[in-house]
Structure 1
Amino acid sequence: MLRGRRWAVACCLFAWCGQAAMAAESDSALPAKQKDVSEDVAADWLTRMSESARQANYQGVVVYRSGEVLESLHVVHGFDGGTVRERLVSMSGEPREILREDDEVTCILPREKKITVDFRSKATGLFPSLPRETINQLRAYYEFNVIGRMRIADHQCRGVRIQPKDAYRYGYEFWVDETTGVPLKLSLLDEDGRVLEQLMFTEVTFPKTIAAEDFQTTQDLSGFQKVTQRVSARPPSAVAAWIVDQVPPGFRLMTRDLRQMRGDNDVVEHLLFSDGLSAVSIYAAVTSSSDGKAFEGVSHMGAVNAFGRMLGTHHLTVVGEVPQATVKMIGGAVRAAPADTQTASP
């Protein structure tokens, strides 16, 4: 359902190369002044990375690892005239292709002969957006440290680790090309520092320009069914049918929308909570509990944890790349808003 900011961005799923040994001073051993300096340097690298991941031109081969899943992708990313374009093509497993132009994301599934088009506000592609303002806010919930240097895809990189201060979010490790500022490796870490997911370039180039045709599919799409995801966006301040009484510190409601799924009357309400880095989605859909097929309890796939429950005639699914404790807390805190305060259907 949700694969963080990568293939899930357009409803598709996306190597371990052996991390080189490096010397990294323990943060707990550093005096407070040095910790502050380390955090400031780390924030500088993350800010540069966020800008470069969006505005630089780059193309190459990326490997993605999650548990026993190992896939490779060809990536083309360009920025021209304020417009972000991106093309991702699977090189292993089932054929898939993603085309992105700013907020419009198209997923091509040859096996199903299907094309889905989704319009997502602030779609971020492969890597998260971390402007300086967001980083400053995240300092209340994460520690930031520069952890050394490593060569990746024949480029010298600087490492930055983001360590959560509680058990409600995962840690992150970014390796940023020292010349371009583009992240070449991203790891998602559990509470013990073990790698849950990893995304890494095995080869990459940074061309000055990229031809327009490089962002277009080469497949013959004759006979493909095209499905456009219809979303009715609502501001977070709008009154909703659902109230969440408890979320982990730092998480707040970012977006709320209604999604037309399979039929004209089949509407799912979607709420997105985020602390600026980690994100959790809540999906509420009318269903019947009598068939016994509604998912209840907890489940996980790789780094993604999910929690499901019935609430009256609705089935709630809470899902995100966060620890199980987070989806259980949020899922258990959802309740229906009083009938006289609920927003009318769009």
Structure 2
Amino acid sequence: MKHLFCCLVALGAWSGSVLADVPTDPLSWLARISNAAHKLNYTGTFTYQSGKNVETSRIAHLVDGTGEYERLEALDGSPREVVRNNDEVQCFLPDQKLLIVDQSSARRSFPARLPQSPSALAEHYRIRKGEVVRIVGMESQQIILEPKDDMRFGHQFWADVGSGLLLRARLVGEKGESIEQFAFTEVHVGAPFDKEKVKPRFVRSSDWKVVNARGSDVKVEDTGWVFKNSIPGFRQVVSVVRQGRKERGEAYHVVFSDGLAAISVFIEPMPAKNTLQSGMSSSGAFNIFRRTVSDHLITVLGEVPQQALVRIADGVETRKR
């Protein structure tokens, strides 16, 4: 009983010091969640669910004076692993003996779902605090973002009261349905820095193929394309030319984002044997819209309502010279 009393006293003192730093307004909470994802050391296992599809992954995220390091390992299906060293991303696909090298994209991965400066989100989302609930043994504060228009989905975040780390994130559709959800099933915050935890598990041998997927930055006005339709709050964050397959030539890739949602546009020469149908389709949480313009295939995709994709796609035209 004496040991139990000491533990309770210690926990009370610790929780009091933590709560003193807990923000009271939802925007400050978003900033705290964003900061925690990038500044804390953490390891854990989380699930991703979209429809009937459920996947489990293991993550290790470490930070020191030289930057951020992360290893994400898929635990279901074919083995695959993503290793990030600051802005460089390596994707290992051992079954295919393939290594894809890229740079960090505009799409944010769990638990780093929020932009580093989330205050601008209040212009296009109604942001409020929800309930405090218990997730993976931790008290967590719910933050709710409701879109002010029909061009984006809603978000629900649950963050550890003690550290601010995001424990669960849910994308919510126009009718309040869950489109996708990330959730830790176990997590340890404050892990000691150990570089071995973020090194790739797979060893690349000489028979592996290495694909450099990095794009070359290019200004939109130099591409021969123009985007006549815009969506309030979405700004261009990526504009690159990527080397496609030999038979298809270069592909132009531009990304528009409001800080949470991202819309990708791919413009590439029409393949000789095009089996892709124009119109709307979906893949998991992503909506996809395709159309053809001047012998080019325009593919617009994102975790946004269909009307947002159509609006962007309908405004893609060749630049008049």
1:287-326 alignment to 2 at 5 Å? Answer: 287-288=270-271, 291-326=273-308
Tell whether 2:95 aligns with 1:111.
Answer: yes
CA-to-partner distance for each residue in 1:75-104, whole Å, 9 max, x for gaps? 101111141111011111221110001110
- The count of corresponding residues between Structure 1 and Structure 2 is 297
Letter in 1 for 2:48: Y
SS of the residue corresponding to residue 36 of structure 2 reads: helix
Rounded to whole Å, the distance in 1 between the matches of 2:185 and 2:232 is 37
TM-score by length of 1: 0.81
Rounded to whole Å, the distance in 1 between the matches of 2:100 and 2:247 is 17
SS of the residue corresponding to residue 139 of structure 1 reads: helix
- CA shift in 2, pair 1:48/1:229, >3 Å: same
Residue number in structure 1 paired with 2:12: none
Alpha-carbon distance, 1:152 to partner: 1.0
CA-to-partner distance for each residue in 1:148-187, whole Å, 9 max, x for gaps? 1111111110000111011110111110001111101010
* Residue among 35, 44, 49 paired with 1:51: 35
Contact 2:278–2:290 (8 Å) recurs in 1: yes
Rounded to whole Å, the distance in 2 between the matches of 1:264 and 1:120 is 27
Residue number in structure 1 paired with 2:203: 220
- CA shift in 2, pair 1:123/1:307, >3 Å: closer
Residue number in structure 1 paired with 2:153: 170
- CA shift in 2, pair 1:101/1:125, >3 Å: farther
Residue number in structure 2 paired with 1:145: 128
CA RMSD after TM alignment? 2.0
- CA shift in 2, pair 1:47/1:200, >3 Å: same
* Residue among 128, 131, 135 paired with 2:116: 131
TM-score by length of 2: 0.87
Identity between Structure 1 and Structure 2 (%): 32
Residue number in structure 1 paired with 2:67: 83
Rounded to whole Å, the distance in 2 between the matches of 1:174 and 1:92 is 25
Which region of structure 1 is more displaced relative to structure 2, 51-60 or 222-231?
A: 222-231
SS of the residue corresponding to residue 251 of structure 2 reads: strand
Alpha-carbon distance, 1:129 to partner: 3.4
Tell whether 2:310 aligns with 1:328.
Answer: yes
Rounded to whole Å, the distance in 1 between the matches of 2:130 and 2:155 is 12
* Residue among 69, 73, 81 paired with 1:97: 81
Alpha-carbon distance, 1:121 to partner: 6.3
- Structure 1: gaps spanning 5 or more residues: 1-38, 341-346
Letter in 1 for 2:116: P
Contact 2:106–2:255 (8 Å) recurs in 1: no
Which region of structure 1 is more displaced relative to structure 2, 142-151 or 218-227?
A: 218-227
Rounded to whole Å, the distance in 2 between the matches of 1:140 and 1:298 is 29
Tell whether 2:181 aligns with 1:159.
Answer: no
Residue number in structure 2 paired with 1:14: none
Alpha-carbon distance, 1:246 to partner: 1.2
Rounded to whole Å, the distance in 2 between the matches of 1:261 and 1:295 is 20
Rounded to whole Å, the distance in 2 between the matches of 1:157 and 1:195 is 19
Which region of structure 1 is more displaced relative to structure 2, 227-236 or 271-280?
A: 227-236
Residue number in structure 2 paired with 1:249: 232
CA-to-partner distance for each residue in 1:198-246, whole Å, 9 max, x for gaps? 000010002342311111122232232111113111256x443211111
1:266-277 alignment to 2 at 5 Å? Answer: 266-277=249-260
SS of the residue corresponding to residue 111 of structure 1 reads: helix
- CA shift in 2, pair 1:209/1:269, >3 Å: same
- Structure 2: gaps spanning 5 or more residues: 1-22
Rounded to whole Å, the distance in 2 between the matches of 1:185 and 1:121 is 21
* Residue among 46, 55, 61 paired with 1:71: 55
Alpha-carbon distance, 1:119 to partner: 2.0
CA-to-partner distance for each residue in 1:238-291, whole Å, 9 max, x for gaps? 443211111222222222110112239721001111122211011000114x63
SS of the residue corresponding to residue 191 of structure 1 reads: coil
Rounded to whole Å, the distance in 1 between the matches of 2:105 and 2:289 is 25
Letter in 1 for 2:304: V
CA-to-partner distance for each residue in 1:46-86, whole Å, 9 max, x for gaps? 00000010010000110110111101111101111141111
Residue number in structure 2 paired with 1:200: 183
Larger Rg: 2
